[in-house]
Amino acid sequence: MLLSQIYIYPIKSARGIALNEVSVQTRGPAHDRSWMLVDDAGLFLSQRRAGRMAWITPRFEGDDLLVEAPGMPPLHVRPWRGKGDWVEAQIWDSHLRLPHPDSRYDEWFSAVLGQSCRLVYLPQDVLRPVEPPFDGAGSTVSLSDGFPLLV
């Protein structure tokens, strides 16, 4: 079997980026599901609850993540550099404390979705274990639904 293309999703539930190759790390493909939108209660947003997330189109421009959506100016999301508030976030059964780097990002995403939300980031030193019963090896995962690789 030959894998000829893979999609990564830098922002969970936004549009993906098609790649011919990607570096695979212990948590999954590099840059895959490192960012996530959460509502005011800290619960993750996905297209299941916020269908307008399908409009959000990310792409890399150097180290920045350039995000576009219809009717909105492009947004440059800078790599997280250790600054910002830390907030409680929940993705499925995982309760995490994640950095919320810049409230200006929130205004842009809230305008696109038509609801209040915050953009949070999963740094390398915040570990999210794979859910039981598959967590026996101490594996960790990004902000994907459950596993480092979903093929």
How far from chain centre, in Å, is Cα 4?
23
Q: Rounded to whole angstroms, how far apart are CA atoms 20 and 6?
A: 6
- Tens of pLDDT, residue by residue, the chain (151 residues): 677 889 999 999 999 999 999 998 888 899 999 999 999 999 999 999 999 999 999 999 999 999 999 999 999 999 999 988 999 999 998 999 999 999 999 999 999 999 999 999 999 889 887 776 666 667 788 888 777 776 6
Q: Rounded to whole angstroms, how far apart are CA atoms 45 and 68?
A: 18
Helix H, strand E, coil C: the string for 13-61 is CCCCEEECCCCEECCEECCCCCEEEECCCCEECCCCCCHHHHHCEEEEE
Beta bridge partners of 9: none
Phi, psi of 40 (to 5 degrees): -65, -25
Burial (CB count <10 Å: 0-12, 13-18, 19+), residue 29 = buried
pLDDT score, position 60 = 96
pLDDT tens digit sequence for 71-84:
999 999 999 999 88
Total number of residues shown for the chain: 151
Beta strand pairing call for 75-77 and 64-68: antiparallel
